[in-house]
Structure 1
């Protein structure tokens, strides 16, 4: 079986990867589709982020879906041929956070396609993958494998929306119109937000945002005075989702947040210099949002029911054998949103 393996920045290879026979409680999945995430691009472009660096060859990818090909002993509810979305999180099921229903904070988390641990957790950009059966979520025939592979980033955004609290009737600002920002807009619309304004520096992702629930899109390069207008009268927005990971985005948006508003930081980047006086004097809540837990099951349910349309975000599907071209395409935000690999 072949996989997409990163050895060093820009050193991406298609080469054989290990495939395990499923043990008790495990299944083997034939991967059909996988989405390139921002973290995959960090590994490809820079070898990682901050202290999380590639120290050995690693199969990339954690946004994947496929077909059950083999079932281990004791597995129920799944059979050969079942179409599934794959939850990339393997929790320990023993620590205090798992017991408290906070699995995204598991002390002994394994997350596929991550160099956080050594040896690295090998990823899902491969023709075949063996994992625990509870990480497999059946999808209906009407959901494509590409859509199913969007369950993971959708779960991230559903978790952020949960962190923010009720959105019904709220005026929402989203900074960053990448896949996470646009999926957050979809979640805000489902939550009943009255107004959803999303900003970026490129027209193409803003066009996609406009198709997915944003009531206004702002290119900050061509409309530099748009945000100061929202700062009048101590601000305009009730909730701000910061999805870019750019420190300037948070700093520039804060004047537009109403007193006692909520800011949810879900974009990962470098260390931020936070304008703490603005938070204090306006009593603004700054909340972090990291990965997901039960939100993955909700994401799959929403996709299965047809209540979430993620198709506009999938802008390219490339055979995995041509992964380098796909990664270079994904680097170009002027023409790409979510680039996926096909393993069929």
Structure 2
């Protein structure tokens, strides 16, 4: 078996990998496709995501679909061998106050596929085969193609962000950042009934994708005088992960409006217009990962919700370095998939 492994910043290799056998309550997944996420790119380029530093070889990837290849003891009650599945990447502790309040996505002890947050690291899904707890796999709904199902994880992030925004039906919403997550937020907002969704970005190509999945207007972030900028919006979702994007959201949302912080900002402190938040009595909400939205995302994708334009390229696992370089070039690519070939 082979896997895509990061050793340190700039050192990404496709190398032999032994997934081991599934233990009690676990399954072995033969992976078919994996989506390259922004956090995967951070591990590749920086050797870290925020404060999480790569300290040992780490198999990347948490957006993965495949088939059940083997069952560990006690896992017979779930999907049978051969079943096409998507993988929920989080393993919350189940006992902390956050888990007890059904906010498992902010569990402080959670383990996440392809994450360096803990030692030993949690190995990810960019491998031809990998082992996960059985309760983290979901049989794909009938008729859902794996190329659509592989977007369930990032679409779940978008669904959670929209839910953190509160009621958006009939509202006017600004989204800063038209990368894959920002564009999926657009699709989620339109599905939730947002009347207008205005999207900003520094590049034209991502804005074209945002329009194709439902944006009612787009604007270049580097053109502050563009008349397409809204004077005030009910809700703003910051999906670019930049201080400038957060500033734009705070400035453009109406008095009493809501700003959802979704994109992870650079490490350290980020200045923002705190007095504007106070005097306009804005609500700022963080949105981190997801939980139950994973099942909702699979159902919506199976229903035909069109987010296909977000995927721009598919490359084989053997060309993983090329795929990562491509995924990091926003002038050429949006969501890049790896054909893991584990089936």
Which category of TM-score, normalised to the shorter sequence, fits these structures? over 0.9
Q: Distance in 1 between matches of 2:229 and 2:212?
A: 24
- 1:283 counterpart residue number: 281
2:333 is aligned, of 303, 319, 336, to 336
Q: Is the 8 A contact 2:141 2:299 kept in 1?
A: no
Which shows bigger deviation, 93-102 or 167-176? 93-102
Range with greater deviation from structure 2 (270-279 or 160-169): 270-279
User: Cα deviations across residues 266-316 of structure 1 (Å, max 9, x unaligned)?
Assistant: 00012321211111111110111111111111111111222x222111100
1:297 is matched with 295
Q: 1:227 to 1:86 in 2, by over 3 A?
A: farther
Runs (4 or more) in structure 1 with deviation over 6 Å come to none
The alignment yields a C-alpha RMSD, in angstroms, of 1.4
Q: Is 1:310 the equivalent of 2:307?
A: yes
- Local SS of the residue matching 1:210: helix
Change (3 A) 1:227 1:160: farther
Matched, 1:249 2:245: yes
Answer whether contact 2:26 2:72 (CA < 8 A) is retained: yes
Partner of 2:202: 201
Counterpart of 1:48?
48
Q: CA deviation at 1:226?
A: 2.7
**What is the alpha-carbon distance in structure 1 between the residues aligned to residue 159 and residue 50 of structure 2?**
26
Instruction: Report the count of equivalent residues.
Output: 338
1:35·1:63 contact (CA, 8 Å) conserved in 2? Answer: yes
Partners of 2:113 and 2:124 within 8 A in 1:
yes
In structure 2, do the counterparts of structure 1 residues 229 and 109 end up closer, same or farther at CA, with 3 Å as the change threshold?
closer
The answer on 1:325 being equivalent to 2:326 is no
Instruction: State the 1:180 CA deviation.
Output: 0.8
Tell me which of 234, 238, 259 is aligned to 1:238. Answer: 234
- Match of residue 7 from structure 1: 7
Match of 1:165 in 2: 166
User: What TM-score, normalized to structure 1?
Assistant: 0.95
- 1:50-76 superposed Cα distances (whole Å, 9 cap, x missing partner): 421111111111110000111222221
- Which secondary structure state, in structure 2, belongs to the residue aligned with residue 309 of structure 1? coil
**Alpha-carbon displacement from aligned partner over 1:247-275 (angstroms, at most 9, x marks no partner):** 01111332221111100000001232121
Residues 1:205 and 1:238: Cα distance change in structure 2 (over 3 Å): same
Rounded Cα–Cα distance in structure 2 between residues aligned with 1:90 and 1:278: 38
Distance 2:18 2:92 in 1: 22
Q: Secondary structure at the match of 1:303?
A: helix
Partner of 1:261: 257
**Greater shift after overlay, 250-259 or 284-293?**
250-259
Native 8 Å contact 1:86 1:149 kept in 2: no
Equivalent-residue separation in structure 2 for 1:252 and 1:91 (angstroms): 34
Q: Secondary structure at the match of 1:226?
A: coil
**Contact 2:217 2:228 (8 Å CA) reproduced:** no
Alpha-carbon contact 1:220-1:226 (below 8 Å) kept: no
Contact 1:228 1:256 in 2 (8 A): no
Structure-2 change in CA distance of 1:230 and 1:304 (3 Å): closer
Could you tell me whether the CA contact under 8 Å between 1:227 and 1:256 is conserved in 2? no
* Structure-1 separation of matches of 2:20 and 2:299: 29
- In structure 2, what is the Cα distance between the partners aligned to 1:104 and 1:252? 27
